[in-house]
Structure 1
Amino acid sequence: MRATDISDQITTTLVTEEQIQEKLREIAAQVAADYEGKDLLLVGVLKGAVMVMADFARALPYVVPMDWMAVSSYGSGTKSSGVVQIRKDLDTDLHDRHVLIVEDIIDSGLTLSWLLENFESRGAASVEVFALLRKPDAAKVHVDCRYIGFDIPNEFVIGYGLDYDERYRNVRDVAVLAPHVYS
């Protein structure tokens, strides 16, 4: 199925690819200034953050190491279960590193809250968060997020790394998935 053939599966485009790229360049410039001279490590959360991490890292003006962690709190549904499972741990020792977690989206905040505590317990010098998207109305816990791309409504969204049942990740924009697709 071609990405252009999904118009009947989405209701609204919330953020275009062009808006995303512009925001990533803006935040990368801010991160570069904030972390100048520091031992920065980008940590992406698989699988959703792959697109964000790739484009964000390329927007940074210097070489920066990346690591990946896979955690799950969803299962196959559309709502977070709140129970975090590590599916792939980091390969990098976080001790005395300045960690920037790169997230596609903050929904309930439960997984991210757990990650922040976990990374701090590993002796990181600092742990901050960059999330491309945030759903303020979905938050179950408050998470301090240093860099936010866009606040979006509490709708089920796909595209730019976000999926439903492992589909739609390669859609270039962020769009609301039509309820008939997942109900």
Structure 2
Amino acid sequence: MDSNDVRSDLKHVLYTREEIQQRVTELAQEIDADYQGRDILLVGVLKGAVMVMADLARALHSHVTMDWMAVSSYGSGTQSSGVVRILKDLETDLLGKHVLIVEDIIDSGLTLSWLKANLLSRGPASVEICTLLRKPHAAKVEIDVRYVGFEIPSEFVVGYGLDFAEKYRNLDFIGTLAPHIYE
């Protein structure tokens, strides 16, 4: 699926496949430098982080293990509800591990703030956050995000794992969804 397949659903393309891949490579270089000599447990937040986590893991030169967690605070709407439900928990014991949460997007920060606190309570050596996208103007809570791919405006975006009602995840770029789709 490419931009021609969904042209009428989008306002515009924010980041192309090439721009995303370049930024993910840069993030991997930063992470490799910061975690030199340490193994990393990448914790992907399903479903949106699948694309970025796969590309990030391949770009890293550090040893990594991966696990997945599914949490929900959206449903099919466009605003975070702030109520977090665990749909799938980790299979890995975090005790003493260096955990890097990998997210697709941070807007309000409510879900991620809850998730980080939850993971910290499990006794890891460290917990840091890597996100491809962050909407700084949508933040409702302060959260320390160590690695940020792109800061974006407070618009509804889709593609590269990001969805609206489970559609658009398979786009290889990130675009702004046209309001007539979700209003």
Identify the TM-score tier after normalising by the shorter chain.
over 0.9
Match of 1:48 in 2: 48
Indicate yes or no: 2:113 matched with 1:144.
no
After superposition, the C-alpha distances for 1:112-161 in whole angstroms (9 at most, x for unaligned) are 00011001100011000000000011100011000000000000000000
Alignment check: 8 A CA contact 2:46 2:70 kept = yes
Match of 1:181 in 2: 181
Give the direction of change, closer, same or farther, for the CA distance of 1:72–1:78 in structure 2 (3 Å limit): same
State the one-letter code of the partner of 2:103. Answer: E
Query: 2:64 aligns to what SS in structure 1?
Result: coil
Normalised TM-score (structure 1): 0.97
**C-alpha separation in 1, matches of 2:35 and 2:12:** 36
**Where do 1:92-107 residues align within 5 Å?**
92-107=92-107
**C-alpha separation in 2, matches of 1:131 and 1:157:** 14
Normalised TM-score (structure 2): 0.97
**Where do 1:91-170 residues align within 5 Å?**
91-170=91-170
Aligned length: 183
- Report how far residue 63 of structure 1 moved: 3.4
Indicate yes or no: 2:60 matched with 1:77.
no
State the one-letter code of the partner of 1:104. Answer: D
Alignment check: 8 A CA contact 2:40 2:62 kept = no
Aligned-pair Cα RMSD in Å: 1.1
After superposition, the C-alpha distances for 1:69-89 in whole angstroms (9 at most, x for unaligned) are 000001121111000000000
**C-alpha separation in 2, matches of 1:13 and 1:173:** 7
For structure 1, the 5+ residue unaligned runs are none
**C-alpha separation in 2, matches of 1:18 and 1:105:** 18
Query: 1:65 aligns to what SS in structure 2?
Result: strand
- Report how far residue 3 of structure 1 moved: 5.3
Query: 2:103 aligns to what SS in structure 1?
Result: strand
For structure 2, the 5+ residue unaligned runs are none
Match of 1:12 in 2: 12
Q: Which moved more, 1:103-112 or 1:55-64?
A: 55-64
Alignment check: 8 A CA contact 2:39 2:62 kept = no
After superposition, the C-alpha distances for 1:27-82 in whole angstroms (9 at most, x for unaligned) are 10111111111131000000000000000100011431100000000112111100
**C-alpha separation in 2, matches of 1:57 and 1:40:** 10
**C-alpha separation in 2, matches of 1:134 and 1:65:** 25
- Report how far residue 2 of structure 1 moved: 6.5
Identity of aligned residues (%): 64
Structure 1 runs of 4+ aligned residues shifted over 3 Å read none
